[in-house]
Chain A
Amino acid sequence: MTFFLEVLIGGLLSGVLYALVALGFVLIFKASGVFNFAQGAMVFFAALTFVGFTEVLPGWTGLAPGSGAVFWLAFILALSSMIVLGIATERVVLRPLVNQAPITLFMVTIGLTFFIEGVAQGIWGSHVRRLDLGIEDVPVMFLLDNFDMMISQFDVIAAVLALVMFVALAVMFQYTKVGRALRAVADDHQAALSVGIPLKHIWAIVWSVAGFVALIAGLIWGARNGVQFALTFTALKALPVLILGGFTSVPGAIIGGLIIGASEKVAEVYLGPYVGGGIEGWFPYILAMLFLLVRPEGLFGEKHIDRV
C-alpha cells in the first residue's frame, strides 16, 4: 500500500508539471485559437536563456556566481526575452495569418518550433546544462520517518510552486482588467472586439503569459533533468493532457495533468512488467484516446466544438 501511494504521489507530482506545460497550450488556444506546438520549444528556450544568463551575468556585472541577485536578474532577463518572443511571434507570424485555417496556424507553429530551437541552441550552445535552483533532491524526512514513504522534497516544492502559479494566474484572470479582457476574448472574439478590447494587444499578452508559464515549467523541468534538447518533448507529454482535459479549459489542464501523471506511473509500475516495460511513452495517448471515445469533448472542454 505504501508503495502504491508512493507511485501515485510521484505520478501526481509529475502530473503537475505536465499540467504546467498544458496550461501554456490552453492559454494560447483559448485566446487565439492557435494550437501552439512551439510551447515545448518555448519551455526549452526559456530554460536555456535563464541558464545562459546565470552563466554570463557574473562576468558582465561582477556579481558573485550563484547569488540571489544573479538568479533574479537572470529570471527577469529570461522573462523579458520570453515577452519579446511572444510579441514578435504575434507581429511577424500570426498577424499575417489571421483568418487562415487552423491547420495552417498549427503548421506555422511547427515551423516556429524549429526556428526557436535553432535560435536557442545557436545563442547558448547545444550541450546539456545543469540548472540549480537551490532545492535539494532528498526525500521529505517527515514522510520517511512517519509513513515510510519516499517522496522527493524537490517534487513537493516544484508542485507547490506550480500551484502558487495556478492560483496567481486564476487571480489575474478573475480580478484584473487584463484578465477580464483575456476572458472576454476567450469567450468571443467578435464581442470582445466590439466592446473595444484591442485583440492584437491581447494576443501579445497571451503569448507573453504563455512564455512566463513556459519559463516556470522550464526551470522546474530543467532543474530536475538538466537543461537539454529533450525539454522540447515536454510538449508531447502535454498533448494527452490536453485531450483529456479539453483544449479550452484551465482546470481541465490541471486535472488532466494529474490524471495522466498518476495513471502513467501506476501503469508503468503495475502493467509494464507484463508487456515488457516502456509503456510510459504511449500509455497516456491510448488512455486519452479511449477516454475520447466515451466523452469526445474532454473533461471540461466546450461541448459544441470538435464533435462529430
Chain B
Amino acid sequence: MFYREAGQFKASYQNDQQIFPIRQDQIGFIALMGFLFLVVPFIANQYWLQAVLIPVLIFGLAALGLNILTGYAGQLSLGSAAFMAVGAFGTYNFMLRIDGIPFLVALLLGGLCAAAIGILFGLPSLRIKGFYLAVATLAAQFFIVWVLVKFGWFSNYSSSGVITAQHVNILGVDFRSPEMKYLLTLTVVVVMALLAKNMVRSSTGRKWMAVRDMDVAAEVIGIRLMRTKLQAFAISSFYCGVAGALYAYMYLGTVEPEGFNLDMSFRILFMIIIGGVGSIMGSFIGAAFIVLLPVFLNVAFHSTIGAYVPADLASNLELIIFGALIIFFLIVEPHGLARLWQLTKEKLRLWPFPH
C-alpha cells in the first residue's frame, strides 16, 4: 500500500538510472542517514557506540569488500582479514613515516597498499577457481600475517608486532571521543558503500557478474577476464584494507598482526553468507548479525542460566549455538537475510490486497 511505485514516471534516462529509482526508497534512505548521522550519536551510549555500532560498520565494510569479490565477481576468498591487516599496517606506516600526512590520505594510501597486495594474490585466479582458489587465498592469509610479525619494520620494531594507532586529527577536529569516531567511520563507510552500489550497477559490476556467471561466455562477448578479475581483487582488497585501517584507528586503537587471523576471515565470510551473497545491504545486515550474535548470546546466558553453569561450559554452549544457528540459517534461507528483505518488499508492494 505504502510501498508501490505506481504513478512514479521516469521521464528521462537520468531519472531511470538514478541510484534509488523508487521514491519510497529515497525517502527511506534519507531517513536512515538522518537517523544514523543526527540521532544516533546523541542517543547511543558509550558501550553501544564502541562495542556495537563501530564494529558493525567496519565489519560491514570488510564484508562489502569480500562481497564484491565473492558475491559479484564469483572468486571465493579466505584471506580478507590479511588484506585488512595490510590496510591497517599500511596506514600506520604512512602516518608514522610521513610527517603531517592527513589521516584520510593515509587511509587511502593504506587501502591502495592492500589493493596492490590483493592484485598479487589474485594472480592465481587467472588459472584456478572455486575451492582451489579459496585454498590459494589462504596463502595470502598466512603469508601476510607472518611477514607483519617477522619483519619489525612494519610495526616500527615494537614487540610482537603490536601497533598503537596515532590520534586522528582532521582539519583541527580531534577524533577521540566515541561519538566522533563513530561519525568518521560512518562517513567513510557510507561514501564507500554508495560508491560500491554505483560500481556494481555500472559496466564494472556487470563485467564482474558476467565473469561470475560464466567466464567462458564473458570472454566470448569481449570481457577481458584477467583485467576484470584483477580489478575485482584490487577493489575488494581496497575495501578490506580501509576497513582494516578503520578497525585499528577507530575501533581497537591497538592491533597486532595475529589479530587478523583466519578466524576473522571466516567471520567476514559468514557475514556475507548470512547477509546475502551479491548484495550491498546484505553485507551490513550480515555484519550486524555476526557482531551482535555473540553479544546477545552472552547477555542471554548471563541473565538466564549463566549463574548455574561453569564458565567454560557456557562458552562451549555459545559455540554450539553459534554453529547451530549458522546451519539453521543456511538451511532456512540459503540466500541470506537480504533475500528475506527482498521478499518483504515484494509482499509490501501488494499488501494489503495480494490478488
A residues sitting closer than 8 Å to B (CB atoms) are: 35, 92-93, 96-97, 100-104, 106-108, 110-119, 121-122, 125-126, 236, 239-240, 242-243, 247, 275-276, 278-279, 281-282, 285-286, 288-289, 292-293, 296, 298, 305-308
Contacts and interface: CB of A to CB of B under 8 A. Distances in A.
A107 B326 contact: yes
Question: Quick one: which of B131, B150, B324, B325 has the most chain A CB within 10 A?
Answer: B131
B29 interface: no
Interface string B313-355: 1001111111111110011001000000000000000000000
B130 interface: yes
B215 A308 contact: yes
B138 A239 contact: yes
A150 B105 CA distance: 57
A3 to B, nearest CB: 25
B136 A285 contact: yes
22 contacts: A97-B334, A103-B277, A106-B134, A107-B270, A108-B331, A112-B323, A112-B327, A113-B323, A115-B327, A118-B317, A121-B316, A122-B313, A126-B316, A243-B132, A247-B131, A278-B150, A282-B142, A288-B139, A293-B127, A298-B132, A306-B130, A308-B129
Given A97-B330, A276-B150, A285 B323 contact: no
A124 B295 CA distance: 26
A126 B327 contact: no
B131 A102 contact: yes
Interface in B120-154: 123-132, 134-136, 138-139, 142-143, 146, 150-151
A281 B142 contact: yes
B270 A292 contact: no
Contact of B135 (A243, A293, A305): A243
Nearest to A125: B312
Interface in B297-313: 312-313
A39 B179 CA distance: 44
Contacts of B35: none
B163 interface: no
Contact of A110 (B132, B143, B270): B270
Given A115-B323, A126-B312, 7 more contacts: A106-B134, A107-B326, A117-B323, A278-B146, A285-B135, A293-B127, A308-B127
B330 A122 contact: no
B324 A111 contact: yes
B296 interface: no
Contacts, number: 144
B320 A296 contact: no
B262 interface: yes
Tell me which of A92, A236, A240, A282 has the highest count of chain B C-beta atoms within 10 A of its own C-beta: A282
A104 B334 contact: yes
B76 A103 contact: yes
Contacts of A306: 128-132
A118 to B, nearest CB: 3
Contacts of A247: 131-132
A111 B323 contact: yes
B157 interface: no
Contacts of A104: 273, 330, 334
A285 B142 contact: yes
B250 interface: no
B327 A111 contact: yes
Contacts of A242: 135
A111 B142 contact: no
A101 B334 contact: yes
Nearest to B131: A35
A279 B330 CA distance: 36
A101 B70 CA distance: 13
Contacts of A116: 323
B119 to A, nearest CB: 15
